[in-house]
Copies of this chain bind each other. A is one copy, B any other.
Amino acid sequence: MAGLAYGAPSTSIQATDPVKHALNVTREQDFAAWYQAVITEADMAEESGVRGCMVIRPWGYGIWERIQTLLDARIKQTGHENCYFPLFIPLSYFEKEAEHVDGFAKEMAVVTHHRLIQKDGKMVPDPEAKLEEPLVVRPTSETVIGAAFSRWVQSWRDLPVLINQWANVVRWEMRTRMFLRTSEFLWQEGHTAHSTVDEAMEETMKMLEVYRSFAEECVGLPVVAGEKPENERFPGAVATYSIEAMMQDGKALQAGTSHFLGTTFSQAQNIKFQNAEGQQELAQTTSWGMSTRMIGGLIMVHGDDDGLRVPPRVAPYQVVVVPMLRDTEEDAAIVDYCTDLVNQLNGLDVFREPVRALLDKRPSKAATKRWGWVKKGAPIVIEVGGRDVAGGNVSIIRRDRLYRADGKLDSQIVAKGDFVAGATAMLEDIQASLFADAKARLDGNINRSITDLDALKAYFKASKNPGWALVQWAKPTGAELEKVVQWLKGEKLTLRNVPTDAEAADGACIFTGGTAVERVLVGRSY
Q: Does A463 lie at the interface of the complex (its beta carbon under 8 Å from any beta carbon of B)?
A: no
**A142-173 at interface with B (beta carbon < 8 Å):** 144, 147-148, 151, 157, 163, 167-168, 170, 172
Q: Is the CB of B55 within 8 A of A83?
A: yes
A interface bracket (residues with beta carbon within 8 Å of B): 35 or more
**A60-101 at interface with B (beta carbon < 8 Å):** 61-62, 64-65, 81-91, 93-95, 101
Return chain B residues, CB-CB under 8 Å to A172: 114-115
Q: Does A330 lie at the interface of the complex (its beta carbon under 8 Å from any beta carbon of B)?
A: no
> Interface-forming stretch among A102-110, A235-243, A306-314, A406-414?
A102-110
Cα of A122 to Cα of B91 in the assembled complex, Å: 9
Return chain B residues, CB-CB under 8 Å to A113: 109-110, 112, 134
Q: Does A46 lie at the interface of the complex (its beta carbon under 8 Å from any beta carbon of B)?
A: yes
Q: Given the known inter-chain contacts A55-B148, A95-B123, A123-B95, please indicate yes or no for A86 contacting B116, CB distance below 8 A.
A: no
Cα of A252 to Cα of B155 in the assembled complex, Å: 42
Q: Is the CB of B111 within 8 A of A115?
A: no
Q: Does A48 lie at the interface of the complex (its beta carbon under 8 Å from any beta carbon of B)?
A: yes
Q: Is the CB of B123 within 8 A of A116?
A: no
Please state the number of chain copies in the assembly: 2
Q: Does A425 lie at the interface of the complex (its beta carbon under 8 Å from any beta carbon of B)?
A: no
Return chain B residues, CB-CB under 8 Å to A363: 157
Return chain B residues, CB-CB under 8 Å to A101: 116, 123
Return chain B residues, CB-CB under 8 Å to A112: 110-113, 125
Q: Does A56 lie at the interface of the complex (its beta carbon under 8 Å from any beta carbon of B)?
A: yes
- Nearest CB of B to A182, in Å: 9
- Nearest CB of B to A176, in Å: 12
Q: Is the CB of B110 within 8 A of A84?
A: no
Q: Is the CB of A114 within 8 A of B108?
A: yes
Return chain B residues, CB-CB under 8 Å to A117: 105
Cα of A83 to Cα of B110 in the assembled complex, Å: 26
Q: Is the CB of A111 within 8 A of B114?
A: no
Return chain B residues, CB-CB under 8 Å to A94: 116, 123
Q: Given the known inter-chain contacts A105-B116, A114-B110, A116-B108, please indicate yes or no for A144 contacting B86, CB distance below 8 A.
A: no
Q: Does A184 lie at the interface of the complex (its beta carbon under 8 Å from any beta carbon of B)?
A: yes
Partner of A58 from the list B46, B83, B186 (CB cut-off 8 Å) is B83
Q: Is the CB of A49 within 8 A of B82?
A: no
Return chain B residues, CB-CB under 8 Å to A147: 48-49
Partner of A83 from the list B50, B61, B125, B170 (CB cut-off 8 Å) is B61
Q: Given the known inter-chain contacts A95-B122, A116-B101, A157-B363, please indicate yes or no for A84 contacting B55, CB distance below 8 A.
A: yes
Q: Is the CB of B105 within 8 A of A110?
A: no
Cα of A116 to Cα of B134 in the assembled complex, Å: 10
Q: Does A135 lie at the interface of the complex (its beta carbon under 8 Å from any beta carbon of B)?
A: yes
Cα of A137 to Cα of B50 in the assembled complex, Å: 12
Q: Does A488 lie at the interface of the complex (its beta carbon under 8 Å from any beta carbon of B)?
A: no
Partner of A85 from the list B48, B64, B89, B157 (CB cut-off 8 Å) is B48
Annotate A367-387 by CB proximity to B: 1 below 8 A, 0 otherwise: 000000000000000000000
- Nearest CB of B to A9, in Å: 29
Return chain B residues, CB-CB under 8 Å to A42: none
Q: Is the CB of B87 within 8 A of A184?
A: yes
Cα of A64 to Cα of B62 in the assembled complex, Å: 20
Contacts A49-B90, A50-B88, A113-B134 supplied; 17 other A-B pairs, CB < 8 Å: A46-B151, A53-B87, A57-B83, A58-B81, A58-B163, A61-B83, A62-B81, A64-B84, A87-B184, A91-B124, A94-B116, A101-B116, A108-B115, A108-B116, A111-B111, A112-B112, A350-B351
Task: Report, nearest first, the 8 A-B pairs whose CB atoms are least far apart.
Answer: A53-B86, A58-B81, A56-B84, A114-B172, A105-B116, A110-B113, A50-B86, A110-B125
